[in-house]
Structure 1
Amino acid sequence: MGKTYPELYAGVGVHSGLPTGAATDVASAFATMRGDGGAGQKTRSSRPAMRTIVFQGTADQTVHRSNAERIVANATPEAASITTELFAGQAGRRGYTRTVIADPAGNAVVEQWLIDGAGHAWSGGRSGGSYVDPTGPDASAEMMRFFLGITAAH
């Protein structure tokens, strides 16, 4: 939606999703979800990069992590600096790898969160909820932090 309607959206938040234009029908959607749909291809737009944050579980058996990598690649500006931080899980919480991509001016424009051992469920949320993983980092809170331009505090 952000790529198609940039005049309506200031940023994009994706959790276990597919890249723009990766599928044109049900068969290609399932192929892309498995990681067989050309997920390694990178598409560039002539438009400026839109702020994008992506969450993906490393054990997701529904949407292959190559889709998250493609979304991040498509959102990354040409001259970018990349910082990767690893956070070990503590006290029943999942660990994760957080990658921050900054534009030439040093502004964080893309974040990618790979959540250790998480399946196809929203990271964070309340236990007992549908399709949530309460042991993961809180994706909703992190998306809000990112969109508000607040530096992460871990």
Structure 2
Amino acid sequence: MNNFDPLASAQAALFSLFTGGPLWLATHFFVEPQTTAQSGKPDHSRAPIDASKDAAPLERSRPAIAPSCGRHGLAATNGPQWLSNRFEHGGHTHRFKLYVPSVYHGQPLPMIVMLHGAHQDPDDFAAGTEMNEAAEAHGYIVAYPEQSESTNLLRCWHWFRPSDQARESGETSMIAALTREVIAAYHVDPTRVYVAGMSAGGAMAVNLAVTHPDLYAAAAVHSGVAFGVADEAFSALCAMNDGMSKVRLPARLPEGLQHRVVPLIVFHGDADEIVHPRNSDQIVAMRALLHGDCSASLEPSSTYVEKTKNGYAYTCCVFRDENRRPVGEQWLVHGLGHAWSGGNIEGTYTDPCGPHATSEMVRFFNQFALGT
């Protein structure tokens, strides 16, 4: 991946120029999504102790951040860790953050890879989604890859570029490589690795689920788009705006991988003016295309409507296979805009008045492991 890709920089600048013009709503996906957060930088003073931001890069010969104990024989910590580090891939350096729960003592734990949206970073995303709190409660390690401003001025993942929709190249390849490195460094349970994202990060989570079904046991997509609905910036804006672009799946995957379809939980607000709610339907349809049985897979096995204590009602459709095993869920939150449902206003692009998406994602993930 070229950190100084002139096309990417030109596209980012173009998106900035769109702000306030006719394409204002669509470009907020790249520029600044709707948020209910307070203005100003979120306060992360209550986060666990952070490691040095100048820590050594992650290398195959040694972990980026040494595990607290276990076979490495290091002293155990007394609480959770919120760690910063760097990862070398393709000749470039990528920053990421890692949450290690207090229950970790070298044993295999499950892991979630969290992909932030435009204008966010790992600290902001962790605060808004409260994923670290959920990870502490359920015993998960959480990795937060960071999109840098040197790669994209708006910190947006390039989910729409063909090179970033491929298994062997681009940002999908980089995030998958980082996932494998953290698995090795922390002896993560390789059968229980998951990916989740919001907005542009949600679209990139879809890319990873499609291209790496052997790595991620399940995926969560919040306010994202389906795979292959765009191949450059303008078609990406169109896809987000109407949710009617054609899904184009990869021509081929390595032998054997196409036989597994990653279970998906999808969240979207029906008042989202940045990414049309039809994109949620497209993700469900995309999964049916991957499965190869559209007519059977598109019909939910059950649907229920509820209302949260703190505001929004929602409709949840549960999808099961022919053996009645769960394979997907679609949550449409009524009244929610382009924001993380049930999120904490200490982070940006959140709305507390909805079902707690983070809790539902972790519950969903707990049902799945590779090889079962």
Query: TM-score normalised to the size of structure 1?
Result: 0.86
Distance 1:117 1:3 in 2: 30
SS at match of 1:87: strand
RMSD (Å), alpha carbons = 2.2
* Contact kept? 2:213, 2:260, Cα under 8 Å: no
Q: Aligned-pair distance for 1:48?
A: 2.9
- The residue aligned with 1:31 is 238
SS at match of 2:348: coil
* Contact kept? 1:17, 1:63, Cα under 8 Å: yes
SS at match of 1:50: coil
Q: Aligned-pair distance for 1:36?
A: 5.4
- The residue aligned with 2:333 is 115
Structure number with the bigger relative contact order (C-alpha 8 A, sep ≥ 6) is 1
* Contact kept? 2:229, 2:248, Cα under 8 Å: no
Post-superposition Cα deviations, 1:32-60, rounded to whole Å, max 9, x if no partner, equal 00115525x58699533211000000000
Supply the AA of the counterpart residue of 1:68. S
Residue of 341, 350, 356 corresponding to 1:132? 350
Supply the AA of the counterpart residue of 1:25. E
Runs (5+) with no aligned partner, structure 1: none
Distance 1:42 1:100 in 2: 24
Mapping 1:32-111, distance limit 5 Å: 32-35=239-242, 37-38=244-245, 46-76=258-288, 77=291, 78=293, 79-80=296-297, 82-90=301-309, 92-111=310-329
Supply the AA of the counterpart residue of 2:268. Q
Post-superposition Cα deviations, 1:6-65, rounded to whole Å, max 9, x if no partner, equal 1111111100001011111100110000115525x5869953321100000000000011
Structure 1 window deviating more from structure 2 (23-32 vs 45-54): it is 45-54
Change (3 A) 1:13 1:2: same
Aligned length: 148
Change (3 A) 1:43 1:33: same
- The residue aligned with 1:6 is 213
Post-superposition Cα deviations, 1:100-154, rounded to whole Å, max 9, x if no partner, equal 000011111010000001000011121343110111111111000001029xxxx
Distance 1:21 1:73 in 2: 13
SS at match of 2:301: strand
Runs of 4+ with >3 A deviation = 41-46
Distance 2:223 2:287 in 1: 16
Larger Rg: 2
Q: Percent identity?
A: 39
- The residue aligned with 2:359 is 141
Distance 1:111 1:36 in 2: 19
Q: Aligned-pair distance for 1:70?
A: 0.8
Supply the AA of the counterpart residue of 1:62. I
* Contact kept? 1:28, 1:37, Cα under 8 Å: no
Supply the AA of the counterpart residue of 1:82. S
Q: Which of the pair is proportionally richer in helix? A: 2
* Contact kept? 2:243, 2:275, Cα under 8 Å: no
Distance 2:275 2:328 in 1: 20
Distance 1:84 1:140 in 2: 20
Runs (5+) with no aligned partner, structure 2: 1-207, 253-257
Change (3 A) 1:100 1:42: farther
